[in-house]
Amino acid sequence: MSQSANDRSATDRRYLFLTVFVAGMSTLAVEFTASRLLQAVYGTSNIVWANVIGLVLLSLTIGYFIGGRLADRRPDAFLFYALVSVAGFAAVFFLLLTSVVLRGAAGALAALNVGAVAGSLLLVVLALVVPVTLLGCLSPFAVRLAVRDVAEAGRVSGRIYAVSTLGSLLGTYLPVLVVIPLAGSRRTAVIFGVLLLAVGLVGAWRARRPSPLALLALPLLLVPVVALGLRGGIKAYDGQLYETESAYNYIQVLRQDDCNYLLLNEGQAYHSFYCDDGRVPTVSVWSIMLAAPYFVADARPPQRVAVVGLAAGTIPKQLTRVFGPIAIDGIELDPAVVEVGRQYFALNEPNVRAIIGDGRYALAGLSGPYDLITVDAYKVPYIPWHLTTRDFFAEAAARLSETGALAINVGGAPGDRRLIDGITATLLTVFPTVHAIDVPGTLNTILVATRQPTTPDALAANLAALPPDADPLLRDALRTATANLAPVGAGGVVFTDDHAPVETISDSIVIRYLLETGPGGLGTLGQ
């Protein structure tokens, strides 16, 4: 073989490695982008992740099989790069198709049309099969093209899969940490798909030099697809003021009458609200938490509070309204949510310190002591499991004052209090007393755990002892809490860092509730 032929062969192999790297990166980018699109409608439960990961692995398995068979029958570089190009086209086409389908699913979910939701989910699953299967074809095909001698088969195939895995590593971090937060999930699909398409077309040109028109066919077909897929928002609810995607959430702000509401991901419950001039229209899940410090005899207003799950600041705003400019540390995982709170929910109280980080980790870094710690970290209808364990509650108790209280927002269903009972049983391994308040008009229960033994009688006595000029919101909160005290369950599962089946229990509650009552109450499963 001549020197020029050797040089060309080395160049071709290097380009093959580059293609494999981009394909590996695109595979993970497709997986994470698809999961983000699904999370906007169906939430962030393990079920969603399991469906996406399982589908990706199944499609890759099929792709590996097909790609290996095809490579043995036609070990042609042009065919390989044609597959790369089609895979890039399919990644853009089907992910944008998914986003269009999900707009309909979002509307159906908002209207609680379960049949439409299920059908949309099926279409999304089927849509992902094509691009991921095509991507799976590439690695075994690349190994067949790269191996020139059986004696080097192990070394060459090892390099191929190493390069592909390095690409997948970049495809894990780059979309999640950089591209999706900056460009959104749909544009991320376009960016990685077009990159793969471009690499494939250049490779096809290098292999056979087809006509320019043939090479332009797929890019031209993508133009109307991209124009349609990127048009409008991911969801289009009435009264929508704002939407964005962050590293952690799909965020919406809706306006109804004179109030703004914060929706996250699936949008089946609001996570914060703010009405013009600070008006609070009714006693809510968050205002009930104002009653937590008053289970202690001769209670005094709290002076320091920690809020795990700050969101757009509803709890701190109500605390500040009732108790004045007390010191409040609000912990929120997503900085974009805090920024939305400042822009649309008047989260500007100087006494509120926003701390960005995971609720448990950030609380562990605070010394306290706090008179009240609230936990409101719902991702409907789930509570992050690591905020429900005995270990976490012990960490929280260590940061409470001697008369302090811990208040947690927990969801349930009529006749099914397994999650409430489990968290209650867990709290009782750390705290001497736990009280349960069923919030009227919701399926939510506020659990209040106190550092010292307390009784409901103290709550009633503190209500009666409120001064005449006490804020009406505080009076209503104590009155509502007193009237809606619920028996504290016994015998629930104790959650630990080693074993906390919170999501499994939540899934079974939702399924049982839907089977017994139908979808009509789905939207009340968390707030």
Per-residue pLDDT tens over the stretch 37-47: 776 666 656 66
Please indicate, yes or no, whether residues 222 and 290 belong to a single structural domain of this protein. no
Lowest-confidence segment of 304-313, 341-350, 395-404, 413-422 by average pLDDT: 413-422
Q: Domain with 309 in it: what CATH number?
A: 3.40.50.150
Q: What is the mean pLDDT of residues 98-125?
A: 57
Neighbouring C-alpha atoms within 13 Å toward the C-beta of 370: 26
Lowest-confidence segment of 22-36, 58-72, 451-465 by average pLDDT: 22-36
Per-residue pLDDT tens over the stretch 341-360: 999 999 999 999 999 999 99
Q: What is the mean pLDDT of residues 269-284?
A: 82
Say if residue 110's pLDDT is above 60: no
Proportion of the chain above pLDDT 90, given as a percent = 44
**Angle ∠(320,321,324) on CA atoms, nearest 5:** 55
Sheet arrangement for strand 259-264? 240-245, 250-256, 259-264, 270-275
Note whether residue 255 is domain-resident: no
Please indicate, yes or no, whether residues 306 and 174 belong to a single structural domain of this protein. no
- Reference 145, options 100, 218, 203; nearest CA is 203
Please indicate, yes or no, whether residues 389 and 492 belong to a single structural domain of this protein. yes
Q: What is the mean pLDDT of residues 477-493?
A: 88
Last residue of a domain, one of 186, 209, 229: 229
pLDDT of residue 526: 41
Last residue of a domain, one of 229, 245, 261: 229
Q: What is the mean pLDDT of residues 132-138?
A: 91
Per-residue pLDDT tens over the stretch 418-454: 888 999 999 999 999 999 999 998 888 999 999 999 9
pLDDT of residue 19: 93
Both structure tokens of 165: 């895995």
Say if residue 525's pLDDT is above 80: no
CA distances for 473 relative to 168, 291, 303, 321, angstroms: 53, 10, 18, 9
pLDDT of residue 22: 93
Say if residue 103's pLDDT is above 80: no
- Reference 89, options 229, 227, 230, 225; nearest CA is 225
Note whether residue 249 is domain-resident: no
The mean pLDDT value of the chain amounts to 83
Note whether residue 328 is domain-resident: yes
pLDDT of residue 40: 62
Q: Domain with 68 in it: what CATH number?
A: 1.20.1250.20
CA distances for 480 relative to 289, 413, 472, angstroms: 11, 20, 12
Instruction: Report the distance separating Cα 459 and Cα 253, nearest Å.
Output: 36
Of these ranges, 189-198, 220-229, 244-253, the one predicted with the greatest mean pLDDT is: 189-198
Strand partners, 259: 256, 275
Last residue of a domain, one of 229, 260, 290: 229
Report which DSSP code applies to 484: T
Per-residue pLDDT tens over the stretch 407-421: 999 987 777 788 889
pLDDT of residue 523: 46
Note whether residue 267 is domain-resident: no
Instruction: Quote the domain boundaries for residue 125.
Output: 3-229
Q: Band of the pLDDT at 219, cuts 50, 70, 90?
A: confident
Domain count, the chain: 2
